[in-house]
Structure 1
Amino acid sequence: MASTATEIIAFMVSVSGWVLVSSTLPTDYWRVSSIDGTVITTATYWANLWKTCVTDSTGVSNCKDFPSMLALDGYIQACRGLMIAAVSLGFFGSVFALFGMKCTKVGGSDKAKAKIACLAGIIFILSGLCSMTGCSLYANKITTEFFDPLYVEQKFSFNYIYELKSCRLLISLIN
């Protein structure tokens, strides 16, 4: 009975990690313009994996989708691919975990269910690693540009979404 409860709790934590991975992929504020040292802020620039936007002081946003996949920087392409792989792996990991639980009637014998549950665990670990690598790559690029004194373009910093991604990463890797 205790092992069934443990399996259910682990399944719920795994699915919640997958939901957090899925919810951070389309969010808007992956990076936000840094306003350090300015007295008056007339516009805030922000971007995610899919578009770049500017919000003026009245709150009106103007967004532009990235024009072509081939014209994107390599780190954005890699981050997109890794995050989509993390979402896909998390989905299949959830399905396999559901079939591998002892309380379900699908999956065959206990030995087969144990193998399916082990496969689900490996898939969840791969999903967490893909997510961690994608977020770390993006964060590294933002940090490198921010602290580079020779970088003359608009400098960006993290927003609250980075903390959410870190929590989601921990949940994904715990399972």
Structure 2
Amino acid sequence: MKAKLEILALVLGFIGLFGTITVTALPTWKVSAFIGANLIVMEELWEGLWMTCYRQMNLRMQCKVYDSLLILPAELQAARGLMCVSIALAVISLVVTGFGIKRTNLCGDNTRNKNITLAIGGSLYLISFLTTLIPISWVGHSIIRQFYNAATHDAQKRELGQALYIGWATSAVLLVTGIILLVRYDKRRSDEEQVYNGIYLMEGKNVPNQDTIYQPKTESNMFKQEYV
């Protein structure tokens, strides 16, 4: 059961990595809000981290990469960098976790090194969780704030896109993965301390007491016989 938890964490790590890559690549961070005068669905607009996509009725979708990073709002600029960091952390976490799993021989038989490696992998997953959650929540807050801003025109209002919902689910997976690994590290460290304490006690029992004086046995004079 203990080894299965580590394998589960490894599988969740793969899912978290795939999720972060998907969220970063999807253009559906912001989508058109069909309200007011924009009620008739004639044109749909998607805005992502790297491109915008337009889809008109009876026409295929056309996407265009942003001409400059400076034209993006602050939250999308920050989301670009943080999501790339999140992908890098997820990759490193996955590799480090693979070294720390008990069933692998990548770290040899050194239990302490494996435990430390597992703790590092769990910590990196938690950092990846933060670098994913922060940009997703920031962009979501910006969309909601502009949506309820009376000064914003209806055609400029946006709704939460699919990428944001996938991002929140991915951040939850990364959080669960990090917690599982840190819990397993704490359990394995406790088992390691118990093993070392047992070895220390066994060695202590085998050491002779220094307070006792060893006196070699001598033969009694009664049993000595003299031969002439």
TM-score under structure 2 length normalisation: 0.72
Deviation at 1:21? 1.3
Identity %: 24
**What number of residue pairs does the alignment pair up?**
174
Number of the residue aligned with 1:85: 85
Task: Name the SS for the 1:35 alignment partner.
Answer: coil
Number of the residue aligned with 2:94: 94
Deviation at 1:14? 1.9
For structure 2, the residue ranges without an aligned partner over 5 or more in a row are 178-228
- Distance, in Å, in 2 between the alignment partners of 1:89 and 1:136 is 19
Deviates further, 73-82 or 58-67: 58-67
- Distance, in Å, in 2 between the alignment partners of 1:165 and 1:141 is 16
Deviation at 1:116? 0.4
Task: Name the SS for the 2:58 alignment partner.
Answer: coil
| CA gap 1:103/1:81 in 2 versus in 1, 3 angstroms | same
- Distance, in Å, in 1 between the alignment partners of 2:39 and 2:160 is 20
Mapping of residues 40-119 of structure 1, within 5 Å: 40-108=40-108, 109-119=110-120
Number of the residue aligned with 2:158: 156
Number of the residue aligned with 1:23: 22
Moved over 4 A (4+): none
Between Structure 1 and Structure 2, which shows a larger proportion of helix residues? 2
Structure possessing the higher radius of gyration over alpha carbons: 2
- Distance, in Å, in 1 between the alignment partners of 2:39 and 2:64 is 27
TM-score under structure 1 length normalisation: 0.92
Residues 1:8 and 2:7 aligned together: yes
- Distance, in Å, in 1 between the alignment partners of 2:30 and 2:71 is 19
Cα deviation code 1:70-106 (max 9, x no counterpart): 3332211100111111110000000000001111111
Number of the residue aligned with 1:135: 136
In structure 1, what residue type is equivalent to 2:87?
V
Query: RMSD over aligned Cα, in angstroms?
Result: 1.5
Deviation at 1:40? 2.3
| CA gap 1:5/1:39 in 2 versus in 1, 3 angstroms | closer
For structure 1, the residue ranges without an aligned partner over 5 or more in a row are none
Deviates further, 34-43 or 98-107: 34-43
Task: Name the SS for the 1:23 alignment partner.
Answer: helix
- Distance, in Å, in 1 between the alignment partners of 2:40 and 2:141 is 28
In structure 1, what residue type is equivalent to 2:174?
S
Deviates further, 125-134 or 151-160: 151-160
Deviation at 1:162? 2.7
Deviation at 1:39? 4.6
